[in-house]
Chains A and B, each alone.
Chain A
Amino acid sequence: MATVEEPRTFIRPDGKEKVTGTGRYTADLVLAGELVAKFRYADHTHARITRIDTTKARALPGVLAVVTHEDVPDVLYGGMVQDRRLFAKDTVRFEGDVVAGVAATTAEIAEQAAALIEVDYEPLPVVTDFEAALADDSTLVHPTWESYEGDEALGRHDNTLGYSTIVKGDADAALATADVVVKGRYFTDPVQGVPIEPRAVIAQWQGDKLTVWTSTQVPYAARAGVATTLQIPESNVRVIVPLLGGGFGAKCDFHFEGHVAALAKAARRPVKLVFSRREEFFAVGHRREGMVIEFESGARSDGTLVARKARLVLDKGAYCGEGGFFAQMAAMHALGPYELENVHIESSLVYSNNQPSSSIRAPTAPQVCWALEQHMDELATALGMDPVDLRRKTLIETGSVTATGQVLERIAMKETLEKAVEMIGYGQELPDDEAIGVAVGWWPCFASKSGAYVKLNPDGSGTIITGAQENGTGSVMAMPTYVAAELGMQPEDFSMLYQDTDAAPYDMGSCGSQTTFNSGRAVIAAAVDLRDQLLDAAAEKLEASRDDLELTGGSILVMGSPDKSVTIAELAGEGTFHGKSEDVVPDGPEAPAEGCVGRLGLESFHAPQLIAHAVRVRVDRGTGVARVLEVAAAHDCGKILNKIGADGQVYGGVVMGIGQALSEGTQLDAEGRHRNAHLTDYKLVTASDAPKIDVAWIETDTPGAGPKGSKGVGEPPCVPTAGAVANAIAKVIGARVHKLPMTPERVWEAGA
């Protein structure tokens, strides 16, 4: 175990195009003859469609295509449950449901045409209170849910899309024996990903072949979505991602590529869709879900946790998308990185007529962690213990067995806590309007298949061909450094062909903090394969044993015979060298998880990342305005391969977490419509509100980790930030804020 101190400098290969403005994002591309796409969205958040008449729209000069459900195959799609159509057919279920699409010569004409489409509705009762949606007599968002294809393990029933429990021992009996019991009920508003680039999609058909340029985080999922919904083979669909202007999960999943492809086919012209910021808020099927979270924990007077009960209700919104696993993921965060003897956690993922929720950076974790870490501080208060001491006593450590039965080998949970409190100077004297709050969390790695090639060009330069998606983090941009290290070459020797589904094998995309873990592993495997090929060729050419050869400085040398060598460039000019990965996906740890239902594989956390954040916050007691002044973030994310990139994830993730803590929340009206779908009133943290952030990496050698012992890095920084801020606020004002975000008004209401 070591703490990384020294900087490891790295200049990203896509940097020059990004700082000079010459890089192209999707909306920057122009195809000859391209048309503009606009959507007609649902006029109600829950209604039966009785009539769609596109006659007037089609008659408008400049309109080349109007597409509704009648113009595309009748296909249901979705991740773990197939519950959605590209264009609403008989029912609209949320504000952003697309009823029709228009392609026209100008944006103005397309907008006018979309407004001219006549849609008649029979309004249905709107389900916005997702907790009430659990009731037996609730209106069903999907009355035909039983007919949908879906993963059996979800335990679907009525409005419940997913149900998951973690059960160990007898929580009720244990609570009765506890010296101290505390209870809390918490509520969170929905939160948005808000990549600064609003999404854009361009589709062009050439014969039966479709090319889609799109701002997606998951090009292969986008390709599969297009193929499924339009009923064409994946080989006819090529998805290219130009530079991607951020995603944070909001650009995961298949979204609008199918709509635009259908419009382009109907119009027989390329079609471009560029979202406005307003659409980027309300129309995307991706936001962080609202939750109701209830905790009850009991402890002995020495701080030992005897039991925890939790009840979680998660707002799925109108459709499953790729967020079907949320019930179990949330349950695992309600368990948290703690040692517990008796546990009863119940988690429900519930349909509503709100915007669909799906993965946003560490889905479900920040909200549950915010509530749990407040709950733990409340328990500490009830015990008369310092909250850090309570965590020292109760956190998992190497050798711990989780409530699901997973044995944790070599983790640095407690070490991150110690480092974070040391960095922030926990216990120091502070002005009476300031306090330090601490929170901890965890997050799993996601093992998935990935493939890559590395080829040498005749001049000795190389090209890496990967399915990985660069969303900005730099995780793809770091790949030349891994390949160069295997081949004794320089990172600058390699170009990259990426974000093109026709070029590389399947990859999961930039989601689940998995790029280095899986795509990095594949790229290194391809480099090793290429290395073997080069060694074979060099052994023959140099008449030496392979075992005596060494790759260094762009050459292959015979060890001990300095005269005998061949440059890689020379070999490259003589042959065709191309390495390919043979991917071996690491097995996840086993967890018996007896008595738990809704098991989707998350009952064990593969190579968990452990996180502790300590924050210093000032609260204006007169107004309730809280400002985060300083953050100390200590992470066990395994071996850090690219420090500038990893640090950047913490800086960005912490600031995103501060936004979620204090100012970011979507407000919905009584019918589930966005009230603040714009950046004036959905407030991101600005440079002047972002605090000083200190980062420490505690490197462990966790079994099942990724290449060179690395784990994920991108999502964890979001996990405990809001919880730490909440604990600091509570210390200053002497009261708990039970609603997230903790806006000035809510802090003031709580008793600032």
Chain B
Amino acid sequence: MSVQTFTTASTVEEAIAAVAAGARPVAGGTDLVVGARTGKSTMPESVVAIHRVAELHGVESLADGGLRLGALASHAEIAASGDVRKRFTALSDASAIVGSHATRAQGTVGGNLMNASPAMETGGPLVVLGATATLRSPSGTRSVAVEDLWTGPGKTSAAADELLVGVEIPAPAAGTGSAYLRLEYRRQMEIAVVGASAAVAVADGVVTEARVAMTALSATIRRIPEAEATLIGSDGGSAAIDAAGAAVAAASTPISDVRGSADYRRAMAAVIAGRAIETALSRAREENA
């Protein structure tokens, strides 16, 4: 470990100033320190601890029906939110299964997004829920769609002096259901080998909106327009679901590694995406009921 400078920010301004000066932000430490201990990365020379910045915390339901997550909202906090569970269910699904009890208690949505792992749990749900990330730097604030945040494994489009301060999710359309599902070998302590998120709206028995994203199947989490197209306008029946699953599999570019072969991952892409879509549809129908 080669950390030379450690500061603790107590305000967003302090945090941003430190980041702009080259410090790496740390909150739960569940990615940063683990990465260094396993030799996947090295500890940065300068670290700013942002975990005590009050205004970066919180899960807040907005008047317009949207949701605001502070960058430091923990997975446990998100999973425990009744509003998230009811209206942003895919995110609740994901936050509830990140790592272990301790990972969920310490790990934050901001850390999850900015670590930019293609296997992260919360990314896919935020993409299909149409979330935007708020990035702040000394020169101002900008919003970026979460799906445009990642540029590769471990890489984001954030500038070096930008800090993710929060995430906003717009109000879902009436009759929307969403779900996140991962292929898991164990029930807990898993890293997604394949994951899929879906958000669908159903009106009068017809799918009116559909967003589908895949996790751990390409360099970044991304939407699969081909899968969405097969669903929109359909009755959401098994033929449409199978076609959407097949579209996800076709769009995937999985790797072979110790967790599974590319062939298996591709086959599972169809299965898991199909199940995620099916769950989202059934939740959407419950909304309508």
Contact = CB atoms under 8 A, between A and B. Distances in A.
Interface of A: 622-623, 625, 662-663, 667, 675-676, 678, 680-681, 683, 685-686, 688-689, 743-745, 748-749
B23 to A, nearest CB: 23
A725 to B, nearest CB: 14
Given A622-B271, A675-B258, A678-B38, A683 B191 contact: no
Nearest to A681: B258
B183 A676 contact: no
Given A686-B187, A749-B264, 9 more contacts: A623-B183, A625-B183, A667-B258, A680-B191, A683-B189, A685-B186, A745-B260, A745-B264, A748-B267
B81 interface: no
B11 interface: no
A689 B268 contact: no
A748 B272 CA distance: 14
A26 B186 CA distance: 32
Contacts of B191: 680
B157 interface: no
A679 to B, nearest CB: 9
Overall SS of chain A's interface: loop
Contacts of A685: 186
A675 B258 CA distance: 7
Interface in B250-278: 258-261, 264, 267-268, 271-272, 275
Nearest to B188: A688
B184 A625 contact: yes
B6 interface: no
Contacts of A667: 258
A686 B272 CA distance: 23
10 contacts: A622-B271, A623-B183, A623-B268, A625-B184, A676-B258, A686-B187, A688-B188, A744-B183, A745-B260, A745-B264
A744 B185 contact: yes
Given A675-B258, A676-B258, A663 B38 contact: no
Contacts of B261: 745
A274 B230 CA distance: 56
Contact of B185 (A678, A688, A743, A749): A743
Contacts of A622: 271, 275
Nearest to B193: A744
Given A680-B191, A745-B264, A663 B186 contact: yes
Given A623-B268, A678-B38, A681-B258, A686 B188 contact: yes
Contacts of B188: 686, 688-689
A248 to B, nearest CB: 20
B32 to A, nearest CB: 16
A498 to B, nearest CB: 35
A542 B229 CA distance: 100
A683 B185 contact: yes
A749 B188 CA distance: 24
Contacts of A663: 185-186
Contacts of A688: 186-188
Contacts of A680: 191
Nearest to A665: B258
Contacts of B184: 625
Interface string B117-129: 0000000000000
B186 A689 contact: yes
Contacts of A681: 258-259
B271 A623 contact: yes
A622 B183 CA distance: 10
A281 to B, nearest CB: 12
A623 B184 CA distance: 9
Contacts of B258: 667, 675-676, 681
Contacts of B275: 622
**Residue among B185, B261, B272 with max Cβ neighbours from chain A (10 Å):** B185
A199 to B, nearest CB: 19
A367 B183 CA distance: 27
Contacts of B186: 663, 683, 685-686, 688-689
Nearest to A679: B189
Contacts of B271: 622-623
Given A623-B271, A676-B258, A748 B187 contact: no
B82 to A, nearest CB: 24
